[in-house]
Amino acid sequence: MKNTVIIGCGKGIGLATAQLLSEKQNIIGISRSSSPELQNLNIEFHEMDVISGNLDNIDFPEVIDGLVYAPGTINLKPFNRLTPDDFRHDFEVNVLGAVKCIQKLLPNLKKSGNSSIVLYSSVAAKLGMPFHASVSASKNAVEGLTKSLAAEYAAQKIRVNAIAPSLTDTSLASQLLSTPEKREASSKRHPLQRIGSAEEIAEMTAFLLSDQASWITGQIFGVDGGMSNIRL
């Protein structure tokens, strides 16, 4: 059975991925907080903020087959109201946290012989959107990191891919979907006329972790209701 580490498994896409895989793989989950849904899963859970915490305190399996880094930010402001600290925070959560986890687990991933890292970008990295300057900057960095690591570690049979969702119905996006009117307006912006679900992103994550995706690396997958490429 494969060993997969899911960072940010407490809610949203990370939780949906843990729920999907918990009966099929050995899941080591790390999150700042637990939840009732998480407590019902058959996983090894560690409560930790990976940005400030010490990953050396966790006894990881010698071989790790999958790493999912799911923490993210949605910090939408007019550009002239964004501070340097806003940019630093988004970069730290979206990029540096992933870097820290990948560097820590790289020896374990190399021992698999067929391991997979899944990161998360955003539709805003490809499609220019107002008020997204900070998150777009950090998510574009995620895409660059994905391609660079995929090239660097292909010889070690470590695959690295990223998923770029559009607005997804998670707690992270709750303020953007807080009323029926906001939810309807957000749905209509997508060619498929609805917002995405965490479970749909989790399904794509599970595929990229699987052996069925063993010839896929260095790719950015838009799972976004058609928003990034389609105009109606």
Q: What CATH number is given to the structural domain containing 86?
A: 3.40.50.720
Is residue 215 included in any domain, yes or no?
yes
Is residue 185 included in any domain, yes or no?
no
Is residue 83 included in any domain, yes or no?
yes
The range of the structural domain enclosing residue 35 comes to 3-168+197-223
Q: Strands of the chain (E only): list them.
A: 3-7, 26-31, 44-47, 66-69, 115-120, 158-165, 168-169, 196-197, 220-223
Is residue 33 included in any domain, yes or no?
yes
| Residue 117 binned pLDDT confidence (cut-offs 50, 70, 90) | very high
Is residue 52 included in any domain, yes or no?
yes
| Residue 215 binned pLDDT confidence (cut-offs 50, 70, 90) | very high
Tens of pLDDT, residues 57-106: 999 999 999 999 999 988 899 999 999 999 999 999 999 999 999 999 99
| Residue 174 binned pLDDT confidence (cut-offs 50, 70, 90) | low
Is residue 179 included in any domain, yes or no?
no
Is residue 63 included in any domain, yes or no?
yes
User: Number of structural domains, the chain?
Assistant: 1
Is residue 152 included in any domain, yes or no?
yes
